[in-house]
Amino acid sequence: MKMMNISDALNVIKAHQAKIPVQVIDLANELGLKVYEVPNWPDDLSGMVRKNVEATGGFDIFVNQTHAETRRRFTIAHEIAHVVLHPHLIGDGITDDALLRSGLSNDVEAQANRLAADILMPREALNSRLKMGINSVYVLATEFKVSDQAMAIRLGVAQ
Ligand SMILES: [Zn+2]
């Protein structure tokens, strides 16, 4: 399939944010990305994205199956972000290490992390909880299915 442009992709993301927690694999699939969980990767490998083998213009995402679910979800969102934001930089494929760094620049990785956080912890949904007085990192992290650390960073209360 043909890659959609960024505003189409952002609309698909928004539609998937109507329900929390965001179903990140369903989201990837709707964006034309297949997600594979890899059982035998070393712990310091988080994810990979590369053109799919059928070379139909789409991409495949690979994620370390041994990592915790919250971590896998963030990795998948990060790889989605690479495809949405800068597919032209993916080349033959990129591999993200334990800190979600690949051979790409720190700026590019930071952009991917920002979009990943935006995907999994949409501001609107988060703000509605905060307004109701729900402000526990643990409670919100559990509801949004992200790590406590990711939620603490999102809320600006990380140590
Ligand atoms: Zn990356």
Residue 109 sits in a domain whose CATH number is 1.10.10
- What spacing in Å lies between the alpha carbon of 15 and ligand 1's midpoint? 24
Give the per-residue pLDDT at 8: 93
In this structure, is residue 73 part of a structural domain? yes
Using the mean position of ligand 1's atoms as its centre, give its distance from the Cα of residue 58 in Å.
17
In degrees, to the nearest 5, what angle opens at C-alpha 143 toward C-alphas 118 and 111? Answer: 15
Q: 132 CA to middle of ligand 1, Å?
A: 34
Q: What is the mean pLDDT of each run of 10 residues along the chain (159 residues)?
A: 78 97 97 95 97 79 98 98 94 93 94 98 97 97 97 89
Residue 138 inside a domain? The answer is: no
Is residue 21 assigned to a domain? yes
pLDDT value at residue 57: 67
Between the CA of 130 and the centroid of ligand 1 the distance, in Å, is 30
What residues have a C-beta under 5 A from ligand 1, the ion? Answer: 96, 102, 109, 112
> Is 84 part of any domain?
yes
For ligand 1, the distance from its centroid to the CA atom of residue 101, given in whole angstroms, is: 5
- 150 lies in a domain? no
Per-residue pLDDT, 143: 98
- pTM for the whole structure: 0.94
Could you list the residue range(s) of the whole structural domain that residue 107 is in? 6-121
Local structure of 61: helix, strand or coil = strand
Q: Report yes or no on 13 lying in a domain.
A: yes
Residue 86 CA to its chain's centroid (Å): 14
Cα of 21 to ligand 1 centre, how many Å? 22
Query: Can you give the pLDDT at residue 56?
Result: 67
CA of 128 to the centre of ligand 1 (A): 30
Gap from CA of 81 to ligand 1 centroid (Å): 8
- Residue 11's contacts (CB-CB under 8 Å, 6 or more residues apart) are none
What angle separates helix 106-120 from helix 69-85, to the nearest 10 degrees? 120
Sequence-distant (6+) residues with CB within 8 A of 157 are 137
Distance 74 CA to ligand 1 centre (A): 11
pLDDT at residue 159, as a whole number: 63
In the chain, the number of structural domains is 1
Residue/partner pairs of 13-19 with CB below 8 Å, 24 or more apart: 13/84, 13/118, 13/119, 17/119, 17/122, 17/124, 17/125
Residue 152 is assigned to a structural domain of this protein: no
Residue at 56 is within a domain: yes
